[in-house]
Amino acid sequence: MKQTFQVKHAVGGRMFFDSNKLDVPYTVEALERGWRFTVNLPQGPVLEDLLANKNELNVFIFQEYADQPTLKTWYYVKDGPVEYDADKGSLTIVTDSRIEYFPHEYSV
């Protein structure tokens, strides 16, 4: 299985980063209410832009399989904190809800 991790601006869909284009190690952890993403991301323009729009983020994970359709999971940040720890080079994004779906079921 191939997995792709993306963070986009919720308004307009501008891409902040895509793990297919920028190798960003990350983890996802289920919380009692929501999910926490921890991303190793260096300081720079991408991070600055993302943090400037931290209240308007969507997180996506695509799981691509050889023998079944791609599963897309769309996570909504809403009120979850988005914080950066400069000492660790670690971005934390907490999401409140998610939707899982198969994109091929919604194509025109």
Per-residue model confidence (pLDDT) at position 79: 80
One digit per residue, the tens of pLDDT, for the chain of length 108 reads 899 999 999 988 999 999 999 888 999 999 999 999 999 988 999 999 999 999 999 999 999 999 999 999 999 988 889 999 999 999 999 999 999 998 777 766
Per-residue model confidence (pLDDT) at position 78: 83
Per-residue model confidence (pLDDT) at position 106: 74
Per-residue model confidence (pLDDT) at position 4: 95
List own/partner pairs for 83-86 with CB under 8 A and 24 or more apart: 84/41, 84/43, 84/47, 84/51, 86/43
Q: Which of 19, 95, 33, 9 minimizes the C-alpha distance to 61? A: 19
Query: What residues contact residue 64 under an 8 Å CB cut-off, 6+ apart?
Result: 1, 2, 3, 4, 70
Give the number of other Cβ atoms within 10 Å of residue 60's Cβ. Answer: 16
Class of the CATH domain delimited by 2-106? mainly beta
Domain-by-domain residue ranges, the chain?
2-106
Per-residue model confidence (pLDDT) at position 108: 61
